[in-house]
């Protein structure tokens, strides 16, 4: 086989993989918000969870996308481990649709429909409201063009006597149906799927090898089983940087398919015979038989049927043992010791878990809610620092802790913003892009709340260092202002945590007006009090610094609520 033919084969494979990705991305853009709702609500029990996995995988045409999405949702606390296991089982059934699409490309000359699809697709790409459909048509056209050219190139290689002899000689060494040869093809299927990161591409190659007669159906079946293991490794690699529950979900994905392959190996011959009988394929027909070519033409249907039979049977056999699988993976995957310190890192999103762009928005919002909770906790240190520290040592410890939270706040803003920027680089609907803009505003305003808390702490520290004292009346006013800020922050947190209802910002506006009016009242009274020598000028400056910074903090809280309200209207 010449270098040119080898490069052509790689190019055809790349075209097929690009088409699959483009088609999957377009489907996700069309159904992204609905899929977020489905995955987060339709997993009440193992059956609905399984059906959800089937639906989503069939919709986005990627079991890897569904699995990564599910692992991400477990990482974000949106799904329990048991729910994720049932969804992953459903994904194993949903992914069989891809194999049937591949089989379709072998059943008739699909290229007759490819170029009309390109023509219609380019027209739709220039129509703003229909460009996603254009992306989908381009994706599926590239997929079938890649599949067709890969098939034609593969057949041309096999028809070359020298290449045919070399390839046949290689595979003939493994024709003996012993255990080691079986494991070889199982391992090759897993390894190739892991390297290519596409079980669909390896399925296409398997169909080509079997359809040309180079590979026996038994060897093709083992490659298919290997693909089922190889496709699970991606999620485990990605989940390595996630929390314990996410790593358990990924390991459950691997465990389910490994158990399935084990029982399939035990019952391999009866299972293959049953599938061949249903399809009408004679697995023992020799090339000298007049009907050999017609029989060989059905082999893609046999492989797709076996793939479906294996995944459906495996899911039905294990769906009743979801909790057993959950206990097993919990025993194997132990919590990381470092996870005990949750204050200094993100909890719900990690760089490695960016899976499907549309479905990353929910977990980012979960992280924003946690960000808000941490700034709320940071603010609660302020009254304690001012009024309740008993000695210099306690004061220094609490001030240092507020400084630490300021650093955490800065880091969270950067990391969440970077994550959202990565999401915007993916394929998003216009509504989702608008939501992310408002989420970036939420993050910026939350960081400003952290800055205000730190500014308050620094003012209090200056007062403490200079041994200044507030009057009882000043303390009463400051306490009341802190109570209003706390009220604003609590309502902000409530709004961020409630993802089901449309946001009513009137309560936040009322609190903000109360804060503004109180600040104005105290500012006017402060001038009078200084003139009447009720306290010295320095105490008055520090007092108003605290009041004014508290008023700014209230503004930031209402800004978060407004951004969230606008985001909800676009969802």
DSSP 78-108: SS-HHHHHHHHHHHHHHTHHHHHHHHHHHHS
Q: Which domains does the chain have, with CATH numbers?
A: 9-334 (no CATH), 357-570 (1.20.58.220)
In this prediction, what percent of the chain has a pLDDT beyond 70? Answer: 79
More confident residue, 254 or 154: 254
Q: Helix, strand, or coil here: 152?
A: helix
Q: What is the mean pLDDT of residues 525-539?
A: 89
Q: Is the pLDDT score of 295 beyond 50?
A: yes
pLDDT of residue 293: 79
Q: Is the pLDDT score of 353 beyond 50?
A: no
DSSP 384: I
Q: Is the pLDDT score of 197 beyond 70?
A: no
Q: Which of 275, 260, 194, 276 is nearest to 227 (CA)?
A: 194
Backbone angles phi, psi at 511, to 5 degrees: -65, -45
DSSP 353: G
12-21, 56-65, 288-297, 485-494, range with greatest mean pLDDT: 485-494
Q: Is the pLDDT score of 447 beyond 90?
A: yes
Q: What is d(CA 99, CA 34) in angstroms, rounded to the nearest whole number?
A: 25
pLDDT of residue 507: 85
Q: What is d(CA 37, CA 56) in angstroms, rounded to the nearest whole number?
A: 11
Q: What is d(CA 307, CA 565) in angstroms, rounded to the nearest whole number?
A: 46
DSSP 312-342: HHHHHHHGGGHHHHHHHHHHHSPPPGGGG--
Q: How many CB atoms lie within 10 A of CB 164?
A: 15
Q: Is the pLDDT score of 354 beyond 70?
A: no
Kindly indicate the confidence band of residue 340, based on its pLDDT and cuts at 50, 70 and 90.
Answer: very low
| Region of poorest pLDDT, from 37-41, 470-474, 504-508 | 37-41
Could you read off the pLDDT of 211-262 as tens digits, one per residue? Answer: 777 778 888 889 889 888 888 877 777 677 666 777 888 889 889 999 999 9
Kindly indicate the confidence band of residue 339, based on its pLDDT and cuts at 50, 70 and 90.
Answer: very low
Q: What is the mean pLDDT of residues 54-79?
A: 68
Kindly indicate the confidence band of residue 63, based on its pLDDT and cuts at 50, 70 and 90.
Answer: low
More confident residue, 184 or 109: 184
Could you read off the pLDDT of 74-101 as tens digits, one per residue? Answer: 766 667 788 888 888 888 888 788 778 7
DSSP 133: H
Q: How many CB atoms lie within 10 A of CB 422?
A: 14
Helix (H) or strand (E) holding 203: helix 199-211
Q: Which of 188, 149, 106 is nearest to 15 (CA)?
A: 149
Q: What is d(CA 226, CA 214) in angstroms, rounded to the nearest whole number?
A: 19
Could you read off the pLDDT of 165-180 as tens digits, one per residue? Answer: 666 666 666 666 667 7
Residues 6+ apart with CB under 8 A from 537: 530
Q: What is d(CA 250, CA 237) in angstroms, rounded to the nearest whole number?
A: 9
Find how far residue 290's CA is from the centre of its chain.
52
Is 217:81 a contact under the CB 8 Å cutoff? Answer: no
Q: What is d(CA 396, CA 389) in angstroms, rounded to the nearest whole number?
A: 9
Find how far residue 312's CA is from the centre of its chain.
25
| Region of poorest pLDDT, from 91-105, 182-196, 371-385 | 91-105
Backbone angles phi, psi at 286, to 5 degrees: -95, 160
User: Residues in the chain, how many?
Assistant: 571
Is 365:348 a contact under the CB 8 Å cutoff? Answer: no
Q: How many CB atoms lie within 10 A of CB 540?
A: 18
Is 241:352 a contact under the CB 8 Å cutoff? Answer: yes
Q: Is the pLDDT score of 15 beyond 50?
A: yes
Residue 559, token pair as written in the block: 């800004």
Could you read off the pLDDT of 16-53 as tens digits, one per residue? Answer: 777 767 776 776 666 655 655 665 555 567 787 788 77
Is 299:216 a contact under the CB 8 Å cutoff? Answer: no
Residues 6+ apart with CB under 8 A from 430: none
pLDDT of residue 474: 92
Q: Is the pLDDT score of 297 beyond 50?
A: yes
| Intra-chain end-to-end CA distance of the chain, in Å | 54
Could you read off the pLDDT of 115-135 as tens digits, one per residue? Answer: 888 888 888 888 777 778 888
pLDDT of residue 52: 77
More confident residue, 143 or 218: 218
Residue 465, token pair as written in the block: 């260092």
Is 84:256 a contact under the CB 8 Å cutoff? Answer: no
Angular region, 280: left φ>0, alpha ψ -120 to 50, beta rest: left
More confident residue, 350 or 452: 452
Q: What is the mean pLDDT of residues 282-291?
A: 79
pLDDT of residue 503: 65
Averaged pLDDT of the chain: 81
In this prediction, what percent of the chain has a pLDDT beyond 90? Answer: 25
Q: What is d(CA 100, CA 305) in angstroms, rounded to the nearest whole number?
A: 8
Residues 6+ apart with CB under 8 A from 395: 385, 389, 464
Is the full-model pTM beyond 0.85? no
Residue 328, token pair as written in the block: 């097993």
Q: What is d(CA 314, CA 308) in angstroms, rounded to the nearest whole number?
A: 10
Q: What is d(CA 499, CA 362) in angstroms, rounded to the nearest whole number?
A: 10
Q: What is d(CA 549, CA 452) in angstroms, rounded to the nearest whole number?
A: 6
Q: What is d(CA 269, CA 273) in angstroms, rounded to the nearest whole number?
A: 6
- Burial pattern 77-91, b for ≥16 Cβ within 10 A else e, equals ebbbbbbbbbbbbbb
pLDDT of residue 523: 92
Q: Which of 223, 214, 216 is nearest to 163 (CA)?
A: 214
Find how far residue 145's CA is from the centre of its chain.
29
């Amino acid at each position: 086989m010449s270098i040119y033919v080898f490069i052509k084969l790689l190019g055809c494979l790349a075209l097929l993989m690009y088409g699959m990705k483009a088609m999957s991305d377009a489907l996700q853009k069309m159904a992204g918000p609905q899929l977020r709702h489905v995955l987060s609500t339709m997993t009440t029990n193992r059956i609905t969870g399984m059906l959800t996995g089937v639906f989503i995988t069939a919709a986005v045409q990627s079991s890897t996308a569904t699995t990564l999405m599910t692992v991400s949702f477990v990482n974000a606390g949106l799904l329990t481990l048991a729910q994720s296991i049932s969804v992953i089982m459903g994904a194993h059934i949903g992914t069989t649709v891809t194999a049937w699409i591949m089989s379709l490309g072998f059943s008739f000359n699909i290229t007759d429909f490819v170029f009309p699809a390109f023509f219609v697709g380019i027209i739709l790409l220039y129509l703003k409201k229909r460009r996603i459909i254009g992306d989908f048509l381009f994706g599926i056209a590239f997929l079938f063009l890649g599949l067709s050219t890969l098939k034609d190139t593969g057949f041309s290689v096999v028809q070359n006597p020298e290449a045919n002899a070399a390839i046949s000689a290689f595979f003939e060494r493994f024709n003996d149906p012993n255990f080691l040869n079986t494991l070889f093809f199982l391992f090759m299927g897993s390894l190739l799927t892991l390297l290519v990161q596409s079980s669909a591409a390896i399925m296409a190659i398997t169909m080509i090898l079997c359809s040309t007669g180079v590979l026996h159906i038994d060897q093709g079946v083992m490659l298919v089983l290997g693909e089922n293991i190889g496709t699970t490794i991606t999620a485990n690699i990605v989940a390595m940087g996630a929390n314990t529950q996410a790593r358990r979900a990924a390991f459950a994905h691997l465990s389910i398919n490994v158990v399935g392959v084990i029982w399939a190996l035990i019952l391999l011959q009866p299972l293959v015979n049953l599938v061949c009988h249903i399809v009408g394929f004679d697995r023992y027909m020799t090339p000298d038989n007049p009907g050999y070519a017609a029989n060989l033409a059905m082999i893609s249907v046999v492989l797709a049927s076996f793939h479906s039979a294996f995944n459906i049977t495996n899911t039905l056999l294990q769906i009743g043992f979801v909790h057993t699988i959950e206990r097993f993976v919990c025993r194997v995957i132990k919590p990381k010791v470092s996870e005990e310190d949750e204050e200094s890192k993100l909890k719900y999103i990690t760089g490695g878990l960016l899976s499907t762009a549309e479905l990353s928005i929910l977990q980012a919002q979960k992280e924003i809610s946690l960000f808000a909770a941490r700034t709320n906790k940071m603010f609660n240190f302020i009254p304690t620092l001012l009024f309740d520290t008993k000695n210099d040592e306690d004061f220094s410890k609490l001030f240092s802790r507020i400084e630490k939270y300021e650093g955490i706040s800065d880091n969270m803003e950067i990391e969440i913003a970077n994550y959202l920027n990565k999401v915007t680089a993916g394929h998003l609907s216009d509504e989702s892009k608008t939501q992310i803009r408002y989420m970036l505003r939420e993050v910026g305003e939350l960081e400003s709340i952290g800055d205000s808390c730190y500014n308050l702490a620094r003012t209090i520290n200056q007062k403490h260092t200079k041994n200044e004292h507030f009057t009882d009346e000043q303390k009463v006013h400051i306490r009341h202002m802190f109570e209003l800020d706390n009220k604003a922050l609590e309502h902000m947190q409530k709004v961020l945590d409630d993802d089901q209802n449309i946001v009513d910002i009137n309560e936040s506006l009322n609190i903000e007006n109360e804060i503004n009016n109180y600040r104005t009242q105290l500012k006017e009274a402060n001038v009078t009090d200084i003139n009447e020598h009720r306290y010295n000028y320095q105490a008055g400056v520090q007092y108003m610094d605290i009041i004014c910074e508290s008023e700014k903090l209230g503004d930031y809280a209402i800004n978060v609520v407004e951004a969230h309200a606008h985001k909800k209207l676009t969802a």
